[in-house]
Amino acid sequence: MSGSNSVKNPKEMEKEEVFIGSVDQGTSSTRFIIYDQSCRPVASHQIEFTQFCCEDGWVEHNPMEILQSVRLCMEKAIDKATVDGHNVEKGLKAIGLTNQRETTVVWSKSSGCPLYNAIVWLDVRTSSICRRLEEDLPGGRTHFVETCGLPISTYFSAVKLLWLLENVTAVKHAVNTGDALFGTIDTWLIWNLTGGCDGEDGKHNKMTGLHVTDVSNASRTMLMNLRTLDWDKATLDTLGIPITILPKIISNSEIIGNIASGWPISGVPIASSLGDQQAAMLGQACRRGEAKSTYGSGVFILLNTGESIVRSSHGLLSTIAYKLGPSARTYYALEGSIATAGDAVQWLRDGIELIESTEEVEELAGKVDNCGGCYFVPAFNGLFAPWWREDARGVCLGITRFTSKAHIARAVLESVCFQVNDVLDSMHKDVGDEGEFKNDKGEFLLRVDGGATVNNLLMQIQADLLGSPVVRPADVETTALGAAYAAGIAVGLWTEDVIFAERAGKPTIFSPKLDKEQRMKKLESWSKAVSRAFDLAGLSH
């Protein structure tokens, strides 16, 4: 987006440097990016944090470590910008926030301390709770779909909260005494950034943390009504969750509150909050009928369905896309979520030490032209869309004496692309092949983003398996960019029309090279491999 498109007067811009900050709190790392008035990144810093996998299928984060990672990223990014001659402290007009969704935290209102580690979105410890709900409720797994758009699954926050209520004494006690606050990571960060239990505003005035969540994150809890955009009382009653511990639901773009003293940018307003995948959709400027795929620890494909809630009959989720202001229109999306993508590459590095860094996977996989008949299904914690099989576990099939580590590395990359293809196939079935789902040449275009998309081999494999072009933007960190866009809208720096008028920079387009017959054979073999991964949970016990 060029500076001339800004709603600010160009002469004003020459006199004053203007910046928007973006907190991007992801599954494996946190970053803070500072953008100028033309939405160009001027400085950033990123920190990885600890993944706790204390039991099979369990994944936890330390909420305090996440909080500290945000603080350090802010400090380091501001330092870098200052060294480069930017007066960020004076020119920072607002920050936006985007976060890993569904990850669940309960903390003490009085002490500000977490009452248990954050239970991460891909954690599957709640399988037994899900089975119990499916057996007890009419409609089974789809009981809440009409209200919230989501099936009963370990993926979503409500069942994680139920596990905490049933298994953690400190949580039960705090709820009973009125001292508990529930939230996803956006809520935890905003509460702490705006004062927590004992904050100040920089002028020695007391501040109490704001207990809020945005519509995109709330839509992933299984507790929000997609039509009313409020907590659904019938659902809360059914699950036995008290509304008193839930945050207030707000839009994705509005001035939420100012950052408390003690933070590197105290006094600066927080002006947006979005779940990471919705932020990426906004960062890609996806209009109605357009789809984007974000490649990170998992892969998340969203199709903007406009102001219509589309119900899927092919394993997809109905969810919020974005609502850019308290009085703005609400846009919805169809989503397919893939649990394991970048995590599989990290497993090659950390689990079996096949590579020393994640960047090496492209070179290693590129040493062979194909996977040599080897297929890898990364169902480490089950499979999400479109299968929804929590009993699935990872398998590597087709291994022969000929199989090398290069074949395995390529099979891991292919596994990511095969899963995306399956989700997009479901989207085609749900919305059809007509109209805006294709470009003016009659092609389906997949817009991609996320750190893993710098891997050119991965992107070429994706285009080959889709049989359609893959479009990578100039700035692949569209998650952080989307949060910045929403914050800029809230403080009047940009308008929604300007953001959607043009996409920043020149994209890279990957066109398919694999012929249809080869592609169909590979897809058929992949489908067989996936079926072999079912019903393997618990074999190690």
Q: How far apart are CA 502 and CA 462, in angstroms?
A: 25
The whole-number pLDDT of residue 108 equals: 95
The whole-number pLDDT of residue 388 equals: 83
CB 522 within 8 A of CB 374: no
Helix (H, G, I), strand (E, B) or coil at 302: strand
CB 99 within 8 A of CB 183: no
The whole-number pLDDT of residue 540 equals: 54
| Residue range 396-416, pLDDT digits in tens | 999 999 999 999 999 999 999
Mean pLDDT of the chain: 89
Closest CA to 335 of 178, 249, 216: 216
The whole-number pLDDT of residue 504 equals: 63
Structure-model confidence comparison of residues 86 and 463, the more confident one: 463
The whole-number pLDDT of residue 102 equals: 93
Q: How far apart are CA 273 and CA 522, in angstroms?
A: 40
Choice among 265-274, 326-335, 466-475 with the minimum mean pLDDT: 466-475
| Residue range 490-527, pLDDT digits in tens | 999 988 888 887 666 688 999 999 999 999 999 999 99
pLDDT above 60 for 4: no
Choice among 210-219, 285-294, 458-467 with the minimum mean pLDDT: 285-294
Check residue 316 and give left, alpha or beta (phi > 0: left; psi -120 to 50: alpha).
Answer: beta
In terms of Cβ atoms closer than 10 Å to its own Cβ (0-12, 13-18, 19+), residue 310 is middle
Averaged pLDDT, 89-105:
94
CA terminus-to-terminus distance, the chain = 55
| Residue range 10-25, pLDDT digits in tens | 444 446 789 999 999 9
Distances (CA, A) of 137 to 11, 88, 148, 206: 62, 54, 15, 46
Distances (CA, A) of 335 to 10, 305, 524: 39, 10, 24
The whole-number pLDDT of residue 7 equals: 44
The whole-number pLDDT of residue 92 equals: 92
CA–chain centroid gap for 234, Å, is 28
The whole-number pLDDT of residue 521 equals: 94
Of the pLDDT bands very low, low, confident and very high (cuts 50, 70, 90), residue 28 is confident
Closest CA to 299 of 175, 481, 448, 425: 448
Of the pLDDT bands very low, low, confident and very high (cuts 50, 70, 90), residue 200 is low
The whole-number pLDDT of residue 441 equals: 59
| Residue range 317-365, pLDDT digits in tens | 899 999 999 999 999 999 998 888 888 898 899 888 888 888 899 999 9
Q: Where are the alpha helices (DSSP H) in 242-340?
A: 276-283
Closest CA to 491 of 75, 6, 144: 6
Which residue bears the tokens 């059914």? 238
- Tokens at 365, concatenated: 């996989």
**Sign of the dihedral defined by the CA atoms of residues 483, 486, 491, 493, in that order:** positive
Which residue bears the tokens 């009504």? 225
Helix (H, G, I), strand (E, B) or coil at 95: strand
The whole-number pLDDT of residue 474 equals: 84
Averaged pLDDT, 297-301:
87
Averaged pLDDT, 444-451:
84
| pTM for the structure as a whole | 0.85
Domain ranges in the chain are 3-284+477-501
pLDDT above 80 for 135: yes
Q: How far apart are CA 55 and CA 502, in angstroms?
A: 47
The whole-number pLDDT of residue 342 equals: 81
By percentage, how much of the chain surpasses pLDDT 90? 64
CATH for 3-284+477-501, among 2.30.110.10, 3.40.50.1110, 2.40.160.10, 3.30.420.40? 3.30.420.40
